[in-house]
Structure 1
Amino acid sequence: MNGLPVRTILLGVLGVMLVALGGTGAGATLVHDPVLADSGLSWIRYGHGLDLATAVLYIGLGLLVWAWVRLGRGVRAKRVNSRGMLIAIGAWSLPLLVAPPLFSKDVYSYLSQGMLALKGFDPYVVGPAALPGPLTENVSWVWQNTPAPYGPLFILVAKGVVAITGTSLIGGVLLLRLATAFGLALLCWSVPGLVRHLGGNAALALWLGVANPLMLVHLIGGAHNDMLMVGLLAAGVRLMLDGRHLTAIALVTLAFSVKATAVVALPFLVWVWAARLTGTRRNRFLKAAGGGLAVFVVVFTLCTLAAGVSLGWIPALSTSSMIVNWLSLPTALGQFTHTLVSLVFTVDQGIFLGIARAIGEILLVWIAARQWWAARDGGPEAVRRAAYTLLAVALLSPATLPWYFSWPLVIGAGLAWGTSALVVAVLGSVWLLLVTFPNGDTALYSWGYLFLALLASGLAAVSLVRPDPLRLSIRSKTPARAAR
């Protein structure tokens, strides 16, 4: 059927079903599982059973990536349209909605923070350990005593979910994932609209920015609140480009009220609004900035009052610095420098991390200021500059996790992409998908595994432009035989 690659979509469905199945043993499973604990299937979480579940999950990932790359070739050849992409996104998302948490345990922290708020504790002051119970015991030890760094809207969502599901972890995970998946629906609506303004291709943008396995497996499978944040952000950017300025600012403020990163886009959207006003540039900017600030204050205040929390989440943002891995370029620089110096002296790594991260923050502010000023003519150029800045935030923040790269991706997907850029995007997306183990532990220091992940990512990237690069298909060998 033209525009609807049924076989490729079904291949991806098989992949995500295997990912969900393998996740029951290899994912971020519960300490005390009420489903499998007393059944004959509990063996899949230990020993050879765990090995089997892990193998099934990675086979599923391979099939999903294969299907995604095939879909990308179809889009680039204009054989797959936006309708086909939306059907693929829906079909690939459904099994993940009911899967165990994959590649992250953060959802357990979300539920614990919701329970704290529901029981009258301030989640911006105390961590999950303040309220022991079934929810808390599944939270990673790193976050047991850490205040929530999320905005009031997300605390309100988590609070509402826990009010319905109570201490039921399975019910809580499913309902919270469904709530955050609202962001996926917003993305599917927003991305084609962004394309109209940014000059890209709608089907390609949906393929790269929504159907991407990095997005689906990490944000839906991992039940991350980033999905809700990027959905609201993309919708706000689209509406700003459509000329619905007040609603756009309100939506991006809601995105900020989920996760603070979204605030980066607001100054750029002010330029878009200002470009449509009359008067000198200074007056136009002041009018747009004043109107935007008024909307921001009203919406954010309402979210805070509805959640019944304080502004304590803003200082709690610094808790992310507890994450130490080399996906953050400043952290990588600090670790590398410490390793070299440690060959001669015994020095605390924290000193090097502190200096490198401070340099990274200064560099980030400089880049953001330059990009913002370069966007002063407004229009699509301001949105492109916002995407660059969000990429800089992901790379230069003190702490970076693989799904942070969804922030620039959802906006940047609407731009016009060349072949080389798409190949790099596939390479990066698949590699970032693989650098976390299914149970949520980082793989960034398992060098042998990372090398294999890089090989797999390179194969996927090359396959976008060279079908069957390993020449394993019988059909790829037939022309050569015929020529001989």
Structure 2
Amino acid sequence: MLGLLGVTLVALGGMGAGAILQRDPLLTKVGLSWLRYGHGHDLASMVLYLGLGLVIWAWVRLGRLVRWGEIGDFAVLVAVTVWTLPLLFAPPLFSKDIYSYLAQGQLALTGYDPYEVGPAVLQSTLSDNVSWVWQHTPAPYGPLFILIAKAIVWVTDASVILGVVTMRFALAGGLVLLCWSLPGLARHLGGKSSMALWLVAANPLLLVHLIGGAHNDLLMIGLMAAGVLLVLDRRHVLGFVLLGLAFSVKATAIVVAPFLVWIWAARLEGDKRARFRKALLPGVAAFVGAFVACTLIAGVSLGWIPALRSSSMIINWLSLPSAVGDFVRMVVNWFVYVDGGIFLGVARALGSVVLVWIAYTQWWAARDGEVRDAVRRGAVTMLAVALLSPATLPWYFSWPLALAAGFAWSTGALVTVSLASVFLLLVTFPNGDTALYSWGYLFFALLVSALAARSLVKPDPFGLSTRYE
């Protein structure tokens, strides 16, 4: 109930403080347009952050009950369901990406190639709300997601508000897949199913950003987790089909596929090279077959793959190469002015080299096909992708977390992940702008995150219950 109150306040506060429409007919009709400006906006922001605090508090308390063994899977699933429902109907929160999704669907519906042109060519209500950064940027998403976006725009007759809600319901299918997959992954990886569900499905980082912000990463990681589980359950072909579908939403899903080939190969007969071929060929056929089918049904080209470069427009210090490049630029410019793009380009190129090296060494080290080792190395590689890509956004860290949640977690690791989850939740402002350069705010966010993490293992972090004994 505490979490339900929290997400309800987040949804209500989002009406004025979220990533709202430029011209919101719903707020105008009900006389609440004053929430967008001045003191009204300040009030909405206060309500939203109060709700966010309650959600974090509820998540930490739920985690303590899971750690103590007082509740199981069902209780966590009830909490996830209750905390999700208000967010399905909230205004877009902490991101404007959903407007880009809908505009890309409208591009495909009206005969444009979303991999060739940006939303600006539409001059529609949908494109008007797309962030200026992405107005002229082709879609970097796979054919399955373009097909989903196209269908949603058609069903909702290009209504922005209905489109937002319908898109959320479509993406929530990824949350359902996660909730189905995580107990099975925990069974194979030696962890606790209720802990895996708490760590991922109930995590405010995932709920607020991936449901409230309506990011297609949710559908991708749901399909990916389900595909991994099917492979571990020896339903190899179907597992690779789901991985192909996940790749057809967002390219990141391909990272885990090579590790699963080793697991499949270890279960076959013959010498190591023959077993690898026997697993590789049907695995590639299933993966590529699913992707080709999505591409043909969606009626699009492969243009989304080169469009992946568009994410490099994002520059923040969550990406380690971008952070290093920007820091070196700052130091050099203390003494002499040099175009910062040089340092950024070199740092990102070196980051890509390091990422390829990590991915190869982790993959090769997993060649024995031992299940836990292969999945763990796949999660490490996914984490490296999030950290070393040219651009990193807070919710990208849900990728490795979805793979790793099924392992047995030490107390220290849980505290670290809790701190990181809360901090990453808070480093974006409700309207979608980044807070990564607002240092005073970040210091406060770090304090809140540390308190939440400490509260997971120490219910009374300030010792208040014993102060007057």
Q: TM-score range by the shorter chain?
A: over 0.9
Match of 2:258 among 254, 263, 267: 267
TM-score (norm: length of structure 2): 0.99
Match of 1:470 among 459, 462, 465: 462
Q: Does 1:362 align with 2:374?
A: no
The equivalent residue for 1:117 is: 108
The equivalent residue for 2:340 is: 349
Structure 1 residue 295: Cα displacement: 1.1
- Aligned-partner residue type, residue 248 of structure 2: S
Structure 1 residue 296: Cα displacement: 1.7
Distance between the aligned counterparts of 1:204 and 1:295, measured in 2? Answer: 32
Structure 1 residue 471: Cα displacement: 3.3
The equivalent residue for 1:319 is: 310
Distance between the aligned counterparts of 1:89 and 1:39, measured in 2? Answer: 30
Q: Does 1:104 align with 2:102?
A: no
Q: Does 1:448 align with 2:440?
A: yes
Match of 1:281 among 256, 272, 284: 272
Match of 2:209 among 189, 204, 218: 218
The equivalent residue for 2:74 is: 83
Distance between the aligned counterparts of 1:71 and 1:120, measured in 2? Answer: 48
The equivalent residue for 1:7 is: none
Structure 1 residue 468: Cα displacement: 2.0
Match of 1:148 among 139, 158, 163: 139
Structure 1 residue 148: Cα displacement: 0.1
* Dislocated runs of 4+, deviation >6 Å: none
The equivalent residue for 1:58 is: 49
- CA-to-aligned-CA distance 1:45-88 (integer Å, 9 cap, x gap): 10000000001000001000001001111111000111111111
Listed as ranges, the gaps of 5+ residues in structure 1 are 1-9
Match of 2:424 among 422, 432, 435: 432
Contact residue 230 and residue 407 of structure 1 kept, 8 A: yes
Contact residue 241 and residue 380 of structure 1 kept, 8 A: no
The equivalent residue for 2:287 is: 296
Contact residue 104 and residue 439 of structure 1 kept, 8 A: yes
The equivalent residue for 1:205 is: 196
The equivalent residue for 1:41 is: 32
Partner SS for 2:45: helix
Structure 1 residue 38: Cα displacement: 4.3
- Percent of residue pairs bearing the same amino acid type: 67
Structure 1 residue 40: Cα displacement: 2.3
Distance between the aligned counterparts of 2:99 and 2:205, measured in 1? Answer: 21
More moved, 117-126 vs 296-305: 296-305
Distance between the aligned counterparts of 1:200 and 1:209, measured in 2? Answer: 13
- Aligned-partner residue type, residue 382 of structure 1: A
The equivalent residue for 1:5 is: none
Distance between the aligned counterparts of 2:456 and 2:182, measured in 1? Answer: 22
Distance between the aligned counterparts of 1:126 and 1:247, measured in 2? Answer: 34
Structure 1 residue 381: Cα displacement: 1.3
Distance between the aligned counterparts of 2:139 and 2:128, measured in 1? Answer: 17
The equivalent residue for 1:402 is: 394
Q: Does 1:382 align with 2:368?
A: no
Distance between the aligned counterparts of 1:83 and 1:38, measured in 2? Answer: 40
The equivalent residue for 1:3 is: none
Contact residue 23 and residue 53 of structure 1 kept, 8 A: yes
Aligned residues: 468
- Aligned-partner residue type, residue 403 of structure 1: W
